[in-house]
Copies of this chain bind each other. A is one copy, B any other.
Protein backbone atom coordinates (compact mmCIF):
# COMPACT_ATOMS: atom_id res chain seq x y z
CA UNK A 1 0.00 0.00 0.00
CA UNK A 2 1.31 3.42 -0.86
CA UNK A 3 1.43 6.16 1.77
CA UNK A 4 -1.65 8.39 1.77
CA UNK A 5 -1.46 12.05 2.76
CA UNK A 6 -3.70 11.15 5.71
CA UNK A 7 -0.90 8.89 7.01
CA UNK A 8 1.28 11.96 7.65
CA UNK A 9 -0.49 13.32 10.77
CA UNK A 10 -0.40 9.75 12.09
CA UNK A 11 3.40 9.50 11.60
CA UNK A 12 3.76 12.41 14.04
CA UNK A 13 1.34 10.79 16.47
CA UNK A 14 3.31 7.54 16.32
CA UNK A 15 6.60 9.40 16.80
CA UNK A 16 5.24 11.14 19.90
CA UNK A 17 3.87 7.93 21.41
CA UNK A 18 7.06 6.01 20.69
CA UNK A 19 9.23 8.84 22.09
CA UNK A 20 7.20 8.94 25.30
CA UNK A 21 7.24 5.17 25.61
CA UNK A 22 11.03 5.27 25.26
CA UNK A 23 11.22 7.82 28.10
CA UNK A 24 12.09 10.95 26.06
CA UNK A 25 11.50 14.25 27.89
CA UNK A 26 9.63 17.16 26.25
CA UNK A 27 12.72 18.62 24.57
CA UNK A 28 13.77 15.26 23.19
CA UNK A 29 10.20 14.64 21.98
CA UNK A 30 10.27 17.97 20.10
CA UNK A 31 13.68 17.11 18.61
CA UNK A 32 12.27 13.82 17.36
CA UNK A 33 9.17 15.56 15.94
CA UNK A 34 11.42 18.05 14.13
CA UNK A 35 13.48 15.26 12.63
CA UNK A 36 10.34 13.50 11.41
CA UNK A 37 9.11 16.82 9.94
CA UNK A 38 12.31 16.93 7.88
CA UNK A 39 11.94 13.29 6.83
CA UNK A 40 8.31 13.75 5.75
CA UNK A 41 9.30 16.38 3.18
CA UNK A 42 11.67 13.93 1.49
CA UNK A 43 9.51 10.82 1.89
CA UNK A 44 8.06 9.58 -1.42
CA UNK A 45 4.36 8.79 -1.06
CA UNK A 46 4.90 5.82 -3.36
CA UNK A 47 6.68 4.12 -0.44
CA UNK A 48 4.64 2.09 2.02
CA UNK A 49 3.77 3.51 5.48
CA UNK A 50 5.99 1.01 7.35
CA UNK A 51 8.99 2.52 5.52
CA UNK A 52 8.26 5.79 7.33
CA UNK A 53 7.59 3.67 10.42
CA UNK A 54 11.16 2.41 10.11
CA UNK A 55 12.41 6.00 10.02
CA UNK A 56 10.21 7.06 12.98
CA UNK A 57 11.21 4.19 15.27
CA UNK A 58 14.85 4.45 14.12
CA UNK A 59 14.99 8.13 15.14
CA UNK A 60 13.34 7.37 18.49
CA UNK A 61 15.79 4.53 19.13
CA UNK A 62 18.81 6.68 18.25
CA UNK A 63 17.67 9.74 20.21
CA UNK A 64 16.56 7.91 23.35
CA UNK A 65 19.15 5.12 23.30
CA UNK A 66 16.29 2.91 24.41
CA UNK A 67 16.41 -0.12 22.12
CA UNK A 68 13.41 -1.99 23.46
CA UNK A 69 10.84 0.19 25.30
CA UNK A 70 8.11 -2.42 24.87
CA UNK A 71 10.15 -5.31 26.36
CA UNK A 72 8.08 -5.59 29.53
CA UNK A 73 4.79 -5.16 27.65
CA UNK A 74 5.81 -7.91 25.25
CA UNK A 75 6.67 -10.31 28.09
CA UNK A 76 3.38 -9.54 29.81
CA UNK A 77 1.38 -10.00 26.57
CA UNK A 78 3.05 -13.38 25.99
CA UNK A 79 2.40 -14.72 29.48
CA UNK A 80 -1.15 -13.35 29.58
CA UNK A 81 -2.01 -14.86 26.20
CA UNK A 82 -0.34 -18.16 27.23
CA UNK A 83 -2.51 -18.28 30.35
CA UNK A 84 -5.56 -18.35 28.05
CA UNK A 85 -4.10 -21.08 25.81
CA UNK A 86 -6.13 -23.99 27.26
CA UNK A 87 -9.38 -22.04 26.88
CA UNK A 88 -8.49 -21.00 23.35
CA UNK A 89 -7.70 -24.60 22.45
CA UNK A 90 -11.07 -25.64 23.86
CA UNK A 91 -12.74 -23.17 21.50
CA UNK A 92 -11.11 -24.92 18.55
CA UNK A 93 -11.92 -28.40 19.92
CA UNK A 94 -15.58 -27.51 20.30
CA UNK A 95 -16.03 -25.69 17.00
CA UNK A 96 -17.69 -27.03 13.88
CA UNK A 97 -14.82 -25.93 11.64
CA UNK A 98 -11.45 -26.15 13.42
CA UNK A 99 -9.43 -24.45 10.68
CA UNK A 100 -11.85 -21.55 10.33
CA UNK A 101 -11.95 -20.99 14.08
CA UNK A 102 -8.15 -21.16 14.33
CA UNK A 103 -7.86 -18.68 11.47
CA UNK A 104 -10.23 -16.27 13.16
CA UNK A 105 -8.52 -16.62 16.52
CA UNK A 106 -5.23 -15.81 14.82
CA UNK A 107 -6.80 -12.67 13.31
CA UNK A 108 -8.40 -11.68 16.61
CA UNK A 109 -5.00 -12.00 18.32
CA UNK A 110 -3.87 -9.16 16.05
CA UNK A 111 -5.64 -6.77 18.44
CA UNK A 112 -2.53 -6.93 20.69
CA UNK A 113 -0.92 -4.09 18.73
CA UNK A 114 0.77 -1.14 20.38
CA UNK A 115 1.57 0.57 17.08
CA UNK A 116 -1.98 1.89 16.69
CA UNK A 117 -2.72 2.89 20.25
CA UNK A 118 -0.62 2.75 23.34
CA UNK A 119 -3.21 1.51 25.80
CA UNK A 120 -4.29 -1.93 24.66
CA UNK A 121 -5.99 -3.78 27.53
CA UNK A 122 -4.79 -7.25 26.62
CA UNK A 123 -6.71 -8.97 29.43
CA UNK A 124 -10.00 -7.34 28.41
CA UNK A 125 -9.40 -8.17 24.75
CA UNK A 126 -8.60 -11.78 25.67
CA UNK A 127 -11.87 -12.09 27.57
CA UNK A 128 -13.83 -10.65 24.65
CA UNK A 129 -12.24 -13.29 22.41
CA UNK A 130 -12.93 -16.10 24.87
CA UNK A 131 -16.59 -15.08 25.05
CA UNK A 132 -17.08 -14.94 21.29
CA UNK A 133 -19.30 -17.68 19.86
CA UNK A 134 -17.35 -18.76 16.79
CA UNK A 135 -19.93 -21.14 15.38
CA UNK A 136 -22.37 -18.28 15.43
CA UNK A 137 -19.78 -15.84 14.09
CA UNK A 138 -18.69 -18.32 11.41
CA UNK A 139 -22.10 -18.10 9.82
CA UNK A 140 -21.88 -14.34 9.40
CA UNK A 141 -20.95 -12.88 6.04
CA UNK A 142 -17.59 -11.09 6.04
CA UNK A 143 -16.65 -8.41 3.54
CA UNK A 144 -13.09 -9.56 2.88
CA UNK A 145 -12.78 -13.19 3.90
CA UNK A 146 -11.33 -15.44 1.21
CA UNK A 147 -11.72 -18.71 3.12
CA UNK A 148 -12.48 -20.94 0.15
CA UNK A 149 -9.49 -19.62 -1.83
CA UNK A 150 -7.35 -20.16 1.26
CA UNK A 151 -8.52 -23.77 1.73
CA UNK A 152 -7.80 -24.51 -1.92
CA UNK A 153 -4.30 -23.03 -1.66
CA UNK A 154 -3.64 -24.89 1.59
CA UNK A 155 -4.61 -28.23 0.07
CA UNK A 156 -2.05 -27.73 -2.72
CA UNK A 157 0.98 -26.90 -0.60
CA UNK A 158 3.17 -28.84 1.78
CA UNK A 159 4.86 -25.84 3.38
CA UNK A 160 3.80 -22.48 4.72
CA UNK A 161 5.75 -19.28 5.32
CA UNK A 162 4.16 -17.49 8.28
CA UNK A 163 5.07 -13.82 8.84
CA UNK A 164 4.43 -12.91 12.48
CA UNK A 165 3.30 -9.57 13.82
CA UNK A 166 3.11 -8.88 17.56
CA UNK A 167 4.19 -10.49 20.82
CA UNK A 168 1.22 -12.05 22.62
CA UNK A 169 -0.45 -12.49 19.25
CA UNK A 170 2.13 -15.25 18.74
CA UNK A 171 0.05 -17.51 21.04
CA UNK A 172 -2.85 -17.12 18.60
CA UNK A 173 -0.54 -17.88 15.70
CA UNK A 174 0.48 -21.05 17.53
CA UNK A 175 -3.13 -22.27 17.52
CA UNK A 176 -3.32 -21.87 13.75
CA UNK A 177 0.13 -23.39 13.28
CA UNK A 178 -0.92 -26.42 15.36
CA UNK A 179 -3.83 -26.90 12.95
CA UNK A 180 -1.41 -26.75 10.01
CA UNK A 181 0.76 -29.34 11.78
CA UNK A 182 -2.23 -31.67 12.09
CA UNK A 183 -2.50 -31.37 8.30
CA UNK A 184 1.22 -32.31 8.01
CA UNK A 185 2.37 -28.93 6.69
CA UNK A 186 5.89 -27.68 7.25
CA UNK A 187 5.97 -24.19 8.72
CA UNK A 188 8.59 -21.45 8.78
CA UNK A 189 7.70 -18.72 11.28
CA UNK A 190 9.26 -15.32 10.57
CA UNK A 191 9.82 -12.63 13.20
CA UNK A 192 11.53 -9.19 13.20
CA UNK A 193 15.29 -9.13 13.56
CA UNK A 194 15.45 -6.42 16.25
CA UNK A 195 12.87 -4.75 18.51
CA UNK A 196 10.30 -2.39 17.00
CA UNK A 197 7.16 -1.48 18.98
CA UNK A 198 5.76 -4.74 20.39
CA UNK A 199 6.54 -6.79 17.29
CA UNK A 200 7.53 -10.40 17.94
CA UNK A 201 11.19 -11.46 18.04
CA UNK A 202 12.74 -14.95 18.12
CA UNK A 203 12.54 -14.98 21.96
CA UNK A 204 8.78 -14.26 21.82
CA UNK A 205 8.21 -17.08 19.34
CA UNK A 206 10.14 -19.49 21.59
CA UNK A 207 8.38 -18.31 24.78
CA UNK A 208 5.03 -18.98 23.12
CA UNK A 209 6.12 -22.47 22.05
CA UNK A 210 6.22 -21.92 18.30
CA UNK A 211 9.48 -23.91 18.08
CA UNK A 212 7.55 -27.14 18.75
CA UNK A 213 5.67 -26.77 15.47
CA UNK A 214 7.73 -24.51 13.22
CA UNK A 215 11.21 -23.48 12.21
CA UNK A 216 11.76 -19.89 13.43
CA UNK A 217 13.77 -17.35 11.42
CA UNK A 218 14.16 -13.58 11.25
CA UNK A 219 13.28 -11.48 8.20
CA UNK A 220 16.31 -9.30 8.83
CA UNK A 221 14.31 -6.09 9.36
CA UNK A 222 13.35 -4.04 12.39
CA UNK A 223 10.59 -2.07 10.63
CA UNK A 224 6.92 -2.46 11.59
CA UNK A 225 6.25 -4.39 8.37
CA UNK A 226 8.20 -6.83 6.17
CA UNK A 227 9.79 -4.41 3.67
CA UNK A 228 11.30 -6.77 1.11
CA UNK A 229 14.06 -4.53 -0.22
CA UNK A 230 15.73 -4.41 3.19
CA UNK A 231 15.13 -8.05 4.18
CA UNK A 232 18.01 -10.52 4.48
CA UNK A 233 19.02 -12.55 1.43
CA UNK A 234 18.27 -15.79 3.31
CA UNK A 235 14.71 -14.67 4.04
CA UNK A 236 14.15 -13.34 0.52
CA UNK A 237 15.14 -16.68 -1.04
CA UNK A 238 12.61 -18.50 1.15
CA UNK A 239 9.95 -15.84 0.46
CA UNK A 240 10.37 -16.07 -3.30
CA UNK A 241 10.16 -19.89 -3.25
CA UNK A 242 7.12 -20.08 -0.97
CA UNK A 243 3.84 -21.50 -2.26
CA UNK A 244 1.71 -20.15 0.56
CA UNK A 245 2.57 -17.13 2.66
CA UNK A 246 0.57 -15.99 5.64
CA UNK A 247 1.12 -12.33 6.46
CA UNK A 248 -0.13 -11.22 9.87
CA UNK A 249 -1.02 -7.66 10.78
CA UNK A 250 -1.68 -4.32 9.15
CA UNK A 251 2.03 -3.40 8.94
CA UNK A 252 2.87 -6.51 6.93
CA UNK A 253 -0.18 -5.86 4.72
CA UNK A 254 0.91 -2.29 4.05
CA UNK A 255 4.46 -3.42 3.24
CA UNK A 256 3.52 -6.41 1.06
CA UNK A 257 0.18 -5.53 -0.56
CA UNK A 258 1.85 -4.69 -3.88
CA UNK A 259 4.11 -7.77 -4.02
CA UNK A 260 3.38 -10.50 -6.53
CA UNK A 261 3.43 -13.50 -4.23
CA UNK A 262 0.93 -16.12 -3.01
CA UNK A 263 0.13 -14.20 0.17
CA UNK A 264 -2.90 -14.39 2.42
CA UNK A 265 -3.21 -11.32 4.62
CA UNK A 266 -4.71 -11.89 8.06
CA UNK A 267 -5.40 -8.83 10.21
CA UNK A 268 -7.84 -6.69 12.11
CA UNK A 269 -8.50 -3.34 10.40
CA UNK A 270 -7.32 -0.70 12.87
CA UNK A 271 -6.89 2.34 10.63
CA UNK A 272 -9.48 4.26 8.56
CA UNK A 273 -7.04 4.67 5.66
CA UNK A 274 -6.45 0.92 5.39
CA UNK A 275 -10.22 0.39 5.71
CA UNK A 276 -10.82 2.76 2.79
CA UNK A 277 -7.98 1.19 0.79
CA UNK A 278 -9.45 -2.32 0.98
CA UNK A 279 -13.07 -1.10 1.06
CA UNK A 280 -14.13 -2.55 4.37
CA UNK A 281 -15.19 -1.35 7.80
CA UNK A 282 -12.95 -0.45 10.73
CA UNK A 283 -12.49 -3.40 13.10
CA UNK A 284 -13.25 -5.96 10.37
CA UNK A 285 -11.46 -9.34 10.48
CA UNK A 286 -9.61 -9.72 7.18
CA UNK A 287 -8.52 -12.86 5.34
CA UNK A 288 -7.45 -11.46 2.00
CA UNK A 289 -5.91 -13.42 -0.83
CA UNK A 290 -3.32 -11.46 -2.79
CA UNK A 291 -4.87 -10.43 -6.09
CA UNK A 292 -3.05 -12.21 -8.90
CA UNK A 293 -3.75 -14.38 -11.93
CA UNK A 294 -5.28 -17.74 -10.86
CA UNK A 295 -2.65 -19.75 -12.75
CA UNK A 296 0.04 -18.01 -10.69
CA UNK A 297 -1.66 -18.90 -7.41
CA UNK A 298 -1.98 -22.47 -8.60
CA UNK A 299 1.63 -22.70 -9.75
CA UNK A 300 2.61 -21.12 -6.45
CA UNK A 301 5.86 -19.69 -7.83
CA UNK A 302 5.97 -16.11 -9.06
Residues of chain A at the chain B interface (Cβ within 8 Å) = 5-6, 8-10, 12-13, 16, 26, 29-30, 33-34, 37-38, 40-41, 45
Minimum C-beta distance from A100 to chain B (A): 38
Minimum C-beta distance from A276 to chain B (A): 14
Q: How many copies of this kind of chain does the complex include?
A: 2
Residues of B near A34 (CB, < 8 A) are 40-41
Given contacts A38-B37, A40-B34, A41-B34, contact A16 B26 (CB under 8 A): no
Residues of B near A8 (CB, < 8 A) are 12, 16, 33
Residues of B near A13 (CB, < 8 A) are 9
Residues of B near A33 (CB, < 8 A) are 5, 8, 40
Besides A9-B9, A34-B40, A37-B37, 13 other A-B contacts (C-beta < 8 A): A5-B16, A5-B26, A5-B30, A5-B33, A9-B10, A9-B12, A9-B13, A9-B16, A12-B12, A30-B45, A33-B40, A37-B38, A38-B41
Measured in the bound complex, the distance between the Cα atoms of B27 and A11 in whole Å is 19
What is the chain B residue whose CB lies nearest that of A19? B5
Residues of B near A30 (CB, < 8 A) are 5, 45
Residues of B near A16 (CB, < 8 A) are 5-6, 8-9
Measured in the bound complex, the distance between the Cα atoms of B8 and A10 in whole Å is 10
Minimum C-beta distance from A118 to chain B (A): 12
A to B CB contacts below 8 Å, 8 in the list: A5-B16, A6-B16, A8-B33, A9-B12, A9-B13, A30-B45, A34-B40, A38-B41
Most chain B CB within 10 A, of A13, A16, A29, A37, is at A37
Residues of B near A26 (CB, < 8 A) are 5
Measured in the bound complex, the distance between the Cα atoms of B12 and A26 in whole Å is 20
What is the chain B residue whose CB lies nearest that of A10? B9
Measured in the bound complex, the distance between the Cα atoms of B33 and A175 in whole Å is 44
Measured in the bound complex, the distance between the Cα atoms of B41 and A38 in whole Å is 8
